[in-house]
Amino acid sequence: MVMERIQAGEGLLCHLIGQVRPDLARHIKETGEIETIVIGLGAQGTRHAGLMQEFGTLVKAAVAPGRGGTRVHETIPVYDTVAECLEEHPHIAAASVWRHYATAKEATIEAIEAGIPFIALITEGIPLRDMRDIIVAARKNRTILIGGNSPGAIFPPERVKIGMLPDVFYPEEPSPGRLGPKGVTIISRSGAILYHLSDALASAGIAQNGVIGIGGDAAIGSTFVDLVPLAMSHPHTDLVVIAGEIGGIQEERLAEDILEHKERYPKPLVALISGAHAPAGKTMGHAGAIVAPGQAYGTFHSKKEALERAGVTVVNSQYDLIEAVKGKLKRRYFDTGRYYEKMRTIWEAKPKPPSWGTLITKIEPNNILISGYPLQQLIGRKSLLEVAHLLLRGELPSAKALEELEAAALEGIKAPGPAIRRLGEEDLSKALARALLLDEHLASFPQEGARGPALKTAFALGRVGRYLSAILGTAPALEGLSNEASFTEAIYRTITGEMRLDPERARLIEAMAVASVDHGVTPPSAQATLILASTRAAYEVAVAAGVGAITDVHGGAGAKAAQFFKECVARSRRDGLELEEAAKGLIAEYIKAGRRIEGLGHRIHTQDPRRDALWRLAAAAGVAGENVAASKVVTRAFRQVRGLDLPINVDGVIGAIVADLGLDPLIAKALFIWGRVAGLSAHYFEEVASQPEMRRINFEQAVYKGPPERKVP
C-alpha cells in the first residue's frame, strides 16, 4: 500500500525548522524536499539509514570518519565530517546521531554548530558532563535537539522518519490516497510506550502529524516545556498527547508553565503517565524513570496532581487515552480499515528478490536515463565532460566544476603519452587498452576526495585523446592547442586533424561520443570493468579491461556500418539506382555471402532513442548526405529483402555520419570507445564506493536507484 505525501512545507517538521532556520524552511517550501543525514554508521546507524530511506525519508548523506568517498545502501554518499557533507549538501534540515557514547559529544556538537536545526540524538548513556556541553551548544544555536536515548521522530504526512521508530502511524486521509497535514502530535519520554499508544490511536482513526521521542536519559536536549508549545503553534496540530513516566520533574515543570503562560498552550492536551504502581527508588528502564524516596515530586501522583491542577486530562491506560482524545476531538481523520490494510500489507509482504543498485543508468525500451536525464536530450546539448560529471556525481556540473574538468582533460591530452601505435591490423580497443595500462601519468593522477573520481575521469578522457591522436596521425593538430581551448575543440582536432575549429561539426563529433557513454551494467565492457573493480584493481587496469572488451563483436558495429553505407552510396552512383534499391541489392549479396550487416537491430530498443538526435545534429551541421540518407532507408530495405524488421541503432547512425564527414570508418569505433570511457569510469568508482569486495555479481539483478526521469536544463 503506497501512500503519497503532503507538501513538505505544510507539515509539522517544516514548522519546527522554521522556528530555528526560517531560510531553510523557505527552501523546503520552494523545493518540497526535507534533506536529512545520518551521523554514525555502526550496525544500527547503517540499518536504520536504509529503513528511513524505505519509509520515504530523503537521506541525502551520511557521516562516518574514515569512510568518506564510499556509499552506504548503494545510494547514500558518505563523508568524513559534517562540514564536508554540507559543502556538497548545504540544505540539510535534520540529522540523526548514532555514534558510540564515547564519541557522540563531538559528533553532535559538530552537527549543531554546522547549523542543522533538528537533531535526534539516538545514542544512550552519554556521560552527563558530555551531555551538559551538548545541551549548552544546542541552546546557544537554538537547535531543536531530542535525546540522548531518543528513538527519534516521525512525521507521517510528510513521510519523514529521523531515527528508529516503526511505521505504526497513520496521517490524516480526507479521501483514500489523499493525505492532509492535520492530526495529533505525540511527544513521549518512552519509545516503547510511544509505539503502543500511537498504534492505539491509529486503530481508533486518530491521525498523527508528528510523533517525537524526547529521550529517556537523565539529561536530554528538549523537554515537554520546550516542545509542547512548538507543536501547539503549528496550525495543523489539533491536540497534543504527552507520554510521561515517573521520575524527574518534566511533567511538573510543564504544569507550572501552563499555569504561568496559558497563551503558549492554546490547544487541548492529554497526558498519559506510566508507573503508577512502581516502588520508590526503583529504576524502571530509563535513567530518568526513578522516584526519589520521600520526595514530593517525580511520583505518579505528584505528576497527575500537578497536571490536573493545570487543566490537563491525565490517563493511565491506552483505553482511557483513546476515549479522552476522541472526546476532545469529536472526529475521525481516516477510515480505520485503511490503517489495518496498511499494516496487513506490511505484515504479509514477501521478501524482496535479490538485487543490487546503481545510480548511473536506467535502460528501458526506447529510453536511456543517465541519472534521470534522457540521454537523447543530452546529445548535442551537453558536452562529454558535462555528461561524464553527470555519470560520476549524479548531477550536471556547475560552471566552476566544469572549469576544473576542462583543465584536467586538457592536462591529460597535452601531457606526453606512452609511445603507442597499432600493430598491423590490431584492434583499436587493444591498442588503447595497452596505452591505458602503460600510462604512468594516468596511474598517478589523484582520485581521492568527493571531486577526485570526476577529475580523474576527465584526465582519462584527455589521455584517450592523446592516444587516439597518435594512432590516427593527428597529433600535430594538438600541438597548438591553447590553455584556453575547450575540450570540445580538442576532440575535434583529434578526430579530424584540422586546426581550424568548425563549431557545428565539432558539436556533432562530440555528440557521437556522448551518445556512446553508457548502456547500463550488462554490456561486456561494463561487466569487465565491474569485475575488476570488485577485486579493487587499479582504476586504469579496470578501465583498460573494459576498453579491451570493445571488440568488433561489441562496439565495433559503427566502423563496419560506415563501410556498408559507403558501399551503398558507391553502388547507387555507379548503377544509377535509388539509395533504397542499391541497399536492397547489397543486403541480398551480404546475406548470400553469410555476412552480417552491422548497425541494425537492438536487444532492447525497437527504436534507438539516440538515432533522431544524431540525425538532427548532422542535418544542422550540413553533414547529412547520402550516407545518412542510406541509413534512413536501410531498415525498410532489409525488411523487403529478409522479411525482418531491424531498426537502425546508434552504431549505424554514427557510422553513416562518419562516412558523410569523409572520415576513416575507424573513427566510429574511436568515438564509441572515447565516450564509453566515461561510463566505464562511473561504474568503476560506483563499485568501489558502494559494494563489498570480491562479490558475486549477477548483472541481471541490477536495479536502477537513481533520480526519476527529469528534464535537461
Residues labelled as active-site residues: 286
CB 76 within 8 A of CB 45: no
| Closest by CA position to 173, among listed 211, 199, 206, 201 | 206
Q: Compute CA 630 distance to the chain's CA centroid, rounded to the nearest angstrom.
A: 42
The C-alpha cell at 93 is: 534540515
How far apart are the C-alpha atoms of 650 and 610, rounded to whole Å? 6
Question: Which residues, 6 or more positions from 679, have their beta carbon under 8 angstroms from its beta carbon?
Answer: 360, 361, 391, 517, 518, 519, 526
How far apart are the C-alpha atoms of 687 and 697, rounded to whole Å? 11
| Bridge pairing between strands 160-163 and 208-213 | unpaired
Burial class (CB in 10 A: 0-12, 13-18, 19+), 419: exposed
b/e code 285-318 from CB counts within 10 Å (16+ = b): ebbbbbbeeeeeebbbebbbebbeebebbbbbeb
How far apart are the C-alpha atoms of 616 and 598, rounded to whole Å? 22
CB 114 within 8 A of CB 83: yes
Residue 135 identity (one-letter amino acid): I
| Closest by CA position to 262, among listed 327, 310, 307 | 310
How far apart are the C-alpha atoms of 283 and 578, rounded to whole Å? 94
In this structure, what DSSP letter does residue 648 have? B
Sign of the alpha-carbon dihedral angle for 127, 128, 129, 130: positive
How far apart are the C-alpha atoms of 648 and 605, rounded to whole Å? 10
Give one DSSP letter per residue of 544-613, joined into a string: HHHHHT--TTTT-HHHHHHHHHHHHHHHHHHHT--HHHHHHHHHHHHHHTT---TTB--SS-SS-TTHHH
How far apart are the C-alpha atoms of 343 and 347, rounded to whole Å? 6
| Closest by CA position to 246, among listed 192, 287, 201 | 287
Q: What is the maximum span of the chain, computed from C-alpha positions, in angstroms?
A: 113
The C-alpha cell at 259 is: 499555569
b/e code 327-337 from CB counts within 10 Å (16+ = b): ebbeeebbeee
Give one DSSP letter per residue of 255-296, joined into a string: HHHHHH-GGG--S-EEEEEE-TTPPTT---SSTT--PPTT-S
The C-alpha cell at 20 is: 530555528
User: Does residue 148 have a cis peptide bond before it, meaning omega lies within 30 degrees of 0?
Assistant: yes
CB 97 within 8 A of CB 44: no
CB 369 within 8 A of CB 362: yes
CB 190 within 8 A of CB 181: no
CB 423 within 8 A of CB 431: yes
Ramachandran category for residue 539: left, alpha or beta (phi over 0 → left; psi -120 to 50 → alpha): alpha
